[in-house]
Amino acid sequence: IKATCQYKINNAVGKNLKKIKIAIKGDPIGFKGNIYIDNIQFSTDEVSDVPIGESMPSQWTFDTENDLGGWELSNNTKNDASLVWDNQRLKMSLKFKGTTDEDWPSASIFYKGMGNGLIMSPYKSLSFDLYYKESSMDGTKKRFHVKVMAEKDGQSLIVGNNTINISSDKSLDFKKEEQADGSIKATFQFDINSILAESVKPDKLEISITDNNEGGYNGDIYIDNIQLRNAPIDRGYEKFTVDRSTATKITSTNTEININGESKTYPTENIKLADPEANNKTKALYQYLKAVGESSSVIYGHMEDTVLKAGNMVTKSVYSDTEDVTGSISAIDGLDCGSLFHGFAEKYIQRYPNEAKTNNITKDDSTYADDVQAAVELSKKSIEKGAIMTLSSHLPNFAYAVKKESTSEKRYDQYDYKNGDSYKLTGDCMNNIL
């Protein structure tokens, strides 16, 4: 393993240095073997605040027992598992104890290195093989989850959905082959955000097997051929080669709007608003919408255009698929406040860590206030780019809202809505609200 180290020099003290000492200090576990030091350099460049990180192998084939080095096992309290090298594969023996609550049994293997953060920027995809037996799947639906994580301070390098469901009745998102011994070989592939990896050095690379209250697994699972690849996954997509641009030309005065040479006068009458106390900016917005609506052009809108992203990040600090394609975010940017913007604080902290500190936004799962404030700040970002913001909500089923022991001044923080999913259609919801 190659580890690159950088240290800042105090300029005031550095003028009178007589010697520099590099010391290797062992911990209680100790180290026995050779260490090589190379490329000692003094530089006038500033040391980046981003950790240099630690190189890691690009593949683990587990041909020998030594390949198990660096990989460790982690259990939660509802599982009893073991990890060994077995016949050129990594073997996890799982004994999920079953549960009916939300704390599902899980077991993970992880590669942590030496704690300096792992360098993953050269890689664009991750793949591995997993062997399992359907006869070892328990529960009513006979399924379990495979999840991959590589993250630091809530910033994940795995692009898109990092969880795959394995079910006995159907198999999606992965290729599977039946083996001679009756086991099934499943090959998984995940995209890595190599742009984000330039600044984010994850603490560990983790593969997790998770049970749930409708299924599970009791038996051996084998993992092999873990590979980090320099090439992205070939999903059969066509590469986008058209330059981002717009042919739309818009000019405006106080009385009219001109779109590609077509003029429409802003209406001064027949603007009926639900709010009789709407301010002039709101009235002007509706005048604009009515004028555009009477033209031959349309306004394009996208739900959570700057919050959720389906494609890979192809440009730094661009979090909109629309902007990736057109060069501009959507004209109308919709937000849904279902679960009171759960997860928005985490996204805001990932993208704007310094602003999050200034605005005192933290990742506090015990309150919704940070998520709500993060939604406000993300909305401001869209408004600065000219977007019209809309708000909708998948309201929770209040029949299942539970009063918390809370002293919060915010009424929405006085209730727990976890069991009140909007898809749950039972219970006396309206009377509970009244």
Residue 313 CB-half CA count within 13 A: 21
Q: Are residues 122 and 149 in the same domain?
A: yes
In a domain, 171, yes or no: yes
Tokens read off for 293: 């609506």
What is the number of domains present in the chain?
3
Q: Letter for the amino acid at 171? A: S
In a domain, 34, yes or no: no
What are the start-end ranges of the E strands in 175-275? 175-178, 184-191, 205-210, 216-229, 250-252, 256-259, 262-265
- Which tokens hold the place of 264? 């429409």
Give residues with Cβ within 8 angstroms of 341, minimum separation 6.
335, 368, 371, 372, 374, 375
Q: Pairing state of beta strands 301-303 and 332-336?
A: parallel
Q: Which residue in the block uniquely carries the two structure tokens 């293997």?
A: 109
- Per-residue pLDDT tens, the chain, 434 aa: give them: 777 777 777 766 656 777 888 888 765 456 778 889 998 888 877 655 444 566 778 889 999 888 887 888 886 645 567 888 898 999 988 876 555 444 567 788 888 866 678 888 888 899 999 999 888 887 656 777 888 988 876 677 887 666 777 776 555 556 778 888 888 998 888 888 877 787 788 888 999 888 765 556 788 999 999 999 888 877 776 766 677 777 788 899 989 999 999 999 998 777 788 998 999 889 899 999 999 999 999 999 999 999 887 766 666 678 898 988 888 899 999 999 877 888 888 888 878 888 988 999 987 766 788 999 999 999 999 999 999 999 998 888 888 888 888 777 777 778 887 778 787 888 888 888 78
| 169 and 310 both lie in a single domain | no
Cα separation, 259 vs 288, whole angstroms = 12
**pLDDT tens digits, 367-388:** 788 999 999 999 999 999 999 9
Q: What pTM, to 2 d.p., does this model score? A: 0.56
Q: What is the rounded distance in angstroms from the CA atom of residue 108 to the CA atom of residue 73?
A: 6
Amino acid identity, position 86:
D
Beta strand segments in 76-119, E: 82-85, 90-95, 106-111
Do 387 and 417 lie in one domain? The reply is no
In a domain, 26, yes or no: no
CA distances from 265 to 83, 195, 269, 284, 362 (A): 72, 46, 11, 12, 46
Report the run of H or E that residue 287 belongs to, with start and end: helix 280-293
In a domain, 259, yes or no: yes
The CATH code of the domain that includes 133 is 2.60.120.260
425: CB partners within 8 A, 6+ apart: 397
My answer on whether 268 and 372 are in the same domain is yes
- Predicted confidence (pLDDT) per residue in 26-71, tens digit: 654 567 788 899 988 888 776 554 445 667 788 899 998 888 878 8
Q: Pick from 119, 127, 125, 94: which is nearest to 4 by CA? A: 119
Six-digit token pair at 183?
């086991």
Pair 134, 207: CB distance under 8 Å: no
Q: Are residues 130 and 149 in the same domain?
A: yes
- Give the integer Cα–Cα distance in Å for 315 and 125: 18
Question: Distance between CA 267 and CA 375 in Å, rounded?
Answer: 33
Which of 128, 189, 188, 191 is closest to 159 using CA atoms? 191
Block residue for tokens 């997790």: 208
CA nearest neighbour of 112 among 35, 30, 202: 202
Bridge partners of 207, per DSSP, are 109, 148
Residue 1 in domain: no
Same domain, 278 and 147: no
Residues 127 and 272 in one domain: no
**296 lies in a domain?**
yes
Burial state string for 262-287 with b = 16 or more CB within 10 A and e = fewer than 16: eebebeeeeeeeeeeeeeeeeeeeeb
**Structure letter (DSSP) for residue 361:** -
Per the DSSP assignment, residues forming a β-bridge with 227 are 59, 127
Q: Kindly state whether residues 257 and 207 are assigned to the same domain.
A: no
Q: Are 155 and 171 part of one and the same domain?
A: yes
Whether 387 and 256 map to the same domain: the answer is yes
For residue 363, the enclosing domain spans 250-392
Evaluate whether residue 351 is within a structural domain: yes
Residue 235 tokens, joined: 């999903």
Tracing tokens 């992880």 back to the chain, one arrives at 110
Regarding whether 155 and 63 lie in a shared domain, the answer is yes
* Inter-helix orientation angle 369-384/344-351, to 10°: 50
| Phi-psi category of residue 115: left, alpha or beta, with phi > 0 → left and psi -120 to 50 → alpha | left
Which phi and psi (to 5°) does residue 289 adopt?
A: -65, -40
Note whether residue 402 is domain-resident. yes
Q: Dihedral of the CA atoms 303, 304, 305, 307 (nearest 10)?
A: -160
Single-letter amino acid, residue 394: H
CA distance 44 to 303: 47
> 296 and 203: one domain?
no
